[in-house]
Amino acid sequence: MKTNPAEEYEEKPRKVLQQGKGIRVQVPDLKDALSRFIEEESLRDHDSDAEACLEAVRSGEVDLHQLASTWAKAYAETTLEHARPEEPDWDEDFADVYHDLIHSPASETLLNLEHNYFVSISELIGERDVELKKLRERQGIEMEKVMQELGKSLTDQDVNSLAAQHFESQQDLENKWSNELKQSTAIQKQEYQEWVIKLHQDLKNPNNSSLSEEIKVQPSQFRESADAAGRIYEEQRKLEESFTIHLGAQLKTMHNLRLLRADMLDFCKHKRTHGSGVKLHRLQTALSLYSTSLCGLVLLVDNRINSYSGIKRDFATVCQECTDFHFPRIEEQLEVVQQVALYARTQRRSKCKEARDSGNQNGGSDDKSKNAERNYLNILPGEFYITRHSNLSEIHVAFHLCVDDNVKSGNITARDPAIMGLRNILKVCCTHDITTISLPLLLVHDMSEEMTIPWCLRRAELVFKCVKGFMMEMASWDGGISRTVQFLVPQSISEEMFYQLSNMLPQIFRVSSTLTLTSKH
């Protein structure tokens, strides 16, 4: 029989205070009574449910063996002692092995082998480019002859038919070379990983007599192509200024800033010559591959997730020149990004529909929904996707930041999507151990006519000030870790403009001053 807490309360001595029309009772006693009531009634409900389940078993409504199997399965899946041991992950095991080897005397052998693979793929790409060039030249001559006969013995239909044949021939040849490159890189990756695992196992055996021969550095054994000099990337004279700054009011954090006149892809390209400077850059990148000091790069791209045009195509070409032994190929990573973006766009579209259906009474909501619907198939300005790389010269992570033509105008503000995208990128750097980030200072990769000196100064001032604010926010994101931020300007910018930007930076950031100590004597 259920008890009423009010009746139970009446049975106890209580103090009642008359205050006008209100009556105040002792709250602790009432709370205790309610707690006991809830506990007793909950226990009674559980008992009744258990009795009903037992009665179902007694009457045969529930199969006893099936019930026991269900209980045993649930217990085994939720209890740690019955959990299955985790299967070893190949990628994690290989990462640990590689990290050990690259910090051992075998590091130079690893780099030489990677360079040898790079030369092999570069030669294959060179053969592909030559064959495609010959095909285009031959097709150009054929099309020129047909155009001369147009209107005489040939019609527009004949021209269109020949153009279709040329396009199909180019597609077939490109697909042939693409499959060959894909197969070659897959073979290289398998050979390399198997060799790394074997070498690591041999290192554990100190009595192995062949170990010294395996890790012996023989540069002459790694071939260089005869036409290597013709394929070396020509670098314009780089301009560079470095600064050390302190940010923060009470807890100051030191950061390094660099202003460079260089191409963004210079940080990605490998050099065909394997000189000491190139080796040092490559060694530093390899040593920090599985570390808390990663290097990132910001690329400005359009709203389509592919590698078919512009800097996206140039970047993909650089990625293809050297096999990635640790991460999927750039094409595979972009496919995954497309799938994730498709899911996100689907969710965004459903939310826009709900907002449009529920918010038609508001005047501005309909235009906002139409704008979101228009961009349904693409990512929006300010959004970015990330690709991982172990085969690039000086970076591990590439941020592909979506921008539109608005970045070329001179009236963007600190709330522009491109600026907010930089803020989100810096936040990702803080949460994922990326301590060096290179970004385009002017938010463009190439200069154009409308980008005058005043335009460049205004844009640089805006980006400097915004990045300074974002870096001060970093102290709350990561606790104040020292980082390096590299501001890159296009190579076509003049030296005069470069040094104007260099003079602007110390005026915005707090640059550390040097002290000169002199003797009294």
The pLDDT of residue 209 is: 54
> How sure is the predictor about 19, in pLDDT bands with cuts at 50, 70 and 90?
very low
- Taking the CB of residue 297, how many other CB atoms lie within 10 A of it? 26
CA angle 150, 152, 155 (to 5 degrees): 45
For residue 333, pLDDT over 50 is answered with yes
First to last CA, the chain: 102
> How sure is the predictor about 83, in pLDDT bands with cuts at 50, 70 and 90?
low
Give the containing element (helix H, strand E) for 424.
Answer: helix 417-431
Using an 8 Å Cβ cutoff, are 301 and 402 in contact?
yes
CA 274 vs CA 50, 125, 203, 266, 510: distances in Å: 76, 19, 26, 16, 39
> How sure is the predictor about 14, in pLDDT bands with cuts at 50, 70 and 90?
very low
Name the more confident of 208 and 328. Answer: 328
Q: What are phi and psi of 325, to 5 degrees?
A: -90, 0
Tokens of 101: 């080897």
Whole-angstrom distance, CA of residue 341 vs CA of residue 336: 9
> b/e string for 466-505 if b means 16 or more Cβ within 10 A?
bbbebbeebbeebebbebebbbbbbbebeeebbeebbeeb
For residue 220, pLDDT over 60 is answered with no
Q: Residue 326: helix, strand or coil by DSSP?
A: coil
Give the containing element (helix H, strand E) for 454.
Answer: helix 453-478
For residue 225, pLDDT over 60 is answered with no
Name the more confident of 375 and 77. Answer: 77
Using an 8 Å Cβ cutoff, are 171 and 135 in contact?
no
The pLDDT of residue 387 is: 95
> b/e string for 31-63 if b means 16 or more Cβ within 10 A?
eebeeeeeeeeeeeeeeeeeeeeeeeeeeeeee
The pLDDT of residue 246 is: 85
Residue whose C-alpha is closest to residue 467's, from 425, 495, 435: 425
The pLDDT of residue 257 is: 94
**Residue 39, CB half-sphere, CA atoms under 13 Å: how many?**
6
> How sure is the predictor about 233, in pLDDT bands with cuts at 50, 70 and 90?
very low
Q: Which of 16-25, 170-179, 376-385 has the highest mean pLDDT?
A: 170-179
**Residue 36, CB half-sphere, CA atoms under 13 Å: how many?**
12
Q: Which of 68-72, 79-83, 135-139, 248-252 has the highest mean pLDDT?
A: 135-139
Q: Which amino acid is at 419?
A: I
Q: Which amino acid is at 153?
A: S
